[in-house]
Amino acid sequence: MGLSVMCVVLAVMLGQPRDDHALIQGLLLALTTILLLSLAALLLGIQRRLLDPLLALRDWASNIRQGDFSSRLPRSDTSEIGELADDINRLSEWLESLAEERERELQAQQQRLHERTQLANELHDSLAQTLASLKFQIRVLDDTLRQDSESAIWQEMERIESSVDEANVELRELIAHFRAPLSRHGLIPGIRRLLSRLRKETGTETVLQNQADDAELTDEEEAQILRIVQEALANVRKHSRANMVRVLLSYDTIGRLRLIIEDDGIGMVIAPDDQNSDGHFGLAIMQERAGTVGAELTIESEPGDGTRVVIQLGPANEAAGEQTVGERTE
C-alpha cells in the first residue's frame, strides 16, 4: 500500500514542470511522510513478530527461575518461533514433572523421619523405661547376693521377673499401637484404660473428672495427648510413690482445652531449664509431643508435694459447659 502511494507521488512529480517548485516540495514532503509511516509500520511488525516472543521468553525464564515450572510460552504465528515455543514448552513439562517427583521424594523422606521419631518416642514411653528399671533391679540383686540373704534374693528375683513380664506386655502393646493407634478408642476411654492399668498394677487410687464432654479433637491430637498421659502415669508408677492420681479435663478461662495429671507422691526438683533438657529425655519427649499438636505443656513439682502436669490445647471451638461431671474409674 505504501509502495503504491509512493509510485503515484513519483509519477506526479515527474509529470510536473520543472519550475513548479512549491508543488514539488509538497510532493516531497508527502513522500517523506509516507516513507516514515511505512518505516514505523515495518518496525511495529518486526516488534510483533520478534520482540514480543523474546519478551515472552524472558518472562518464562523468570518464572522458571522462581520455581514456577507450570509456566508456558504462547504459540506464535511464525512457524520457526512457534516450533521454538513448542520445544520450550516441552522442556517446561519435563521440568515440572521432575520437580513434582522431587517433591514426592522429599515428602516420603520427611514421612520416614517422622515415623522413626515416633518409633523412638514410643520405645522410650514404654519399653525403654521398663528396661532401665530392670537394670537397676539387677544391680540391687547383685548387692543382695553379696549379703547372702536367701529371702531377700528371692524377693529381688520376683521383682525382676515381674519387670520382665511388664516389658513383654509393653512390647506387645507397642506392636498393637502401631497396628491400630490409641486414638481409635477416643480420648476419655483411652485415659480410663490407662488409669485402670495403673490401679491394677500399683493399687493407687485413680480419679477421672471430665468437664469437657463437648471437646472435639483430631486423631493426631488424641494420640499425642494420650501418649503424654501415658508417660506421666508411667512416671507416677515408677517414681512418685503416690497414693492417689487425679486426671482433670476442663477448659481454661480463654476457652482452651486443659488436661491436668496430678499426684500426691514424693515429687521432684525441676529446674526451669530442665523441662526442655536432653538430660530429662521423658520430659523432652512430652514437650515434643505437645508441640506437634500446638499444645502447651508445663510440669510443676516440689519435693514432698507431688507432681502436676498441665496440657493446654487451643483455642477450643466451643465454650465449656457449666455443669461438672465427676467420676471415679472403675
pLDDT, tens digit (0-9, with 9 covering 90-100), for 208-230: 999 988 888 888 888 889 889 98
Across the beta sheet with 257-263, what order do the strands follow? Answer: 296-301, 307-313, 257-263, 244-251, 205-210, 325-328
What pLDDT, on the 0 to 100 scale, is given for residue 194? 87
What pLDDT is attached to residue 209? 94
Report the alpha-carbon distance of residue 216 to residue 239 in Å, rounded.
33
Query: Looking at residue 50, what is its pLDDT?
Result: 65
- On whether the CB atoms of residues 134 and 94 are closer than 8 A, the answer is no
Q: What span, in angstroms and rounded, lies between the C-alpha atoms of 145 and 139? A: 10
Give the residues of the chain that fall short of pLDDT 70. 1-28, 31, 45-51, 75-82, 121-122, 124-126, 129, 173-185, 271-282, 315-330
187-330: CATH superfamily: Histidine kinase-like ATPase, C-terminal domain (3.30.565.10)
Contact 252, 320 (CB under 8 A): no
Give the pLDDT confidence score for residue 250 in this predicted structure: 93
Q: pTM of the entire structure?
A: 0.51
3-class DSSP state of 298: strand
C-alpha cell of residue 205? 487410687
Amino acid letter for position 283: L
Q: Supply the angle between the helices 79-123 and 52-65 in degrees, to the nearest 10.
A: 10
- Calpha distance 200→107 (Å, rounded): 43
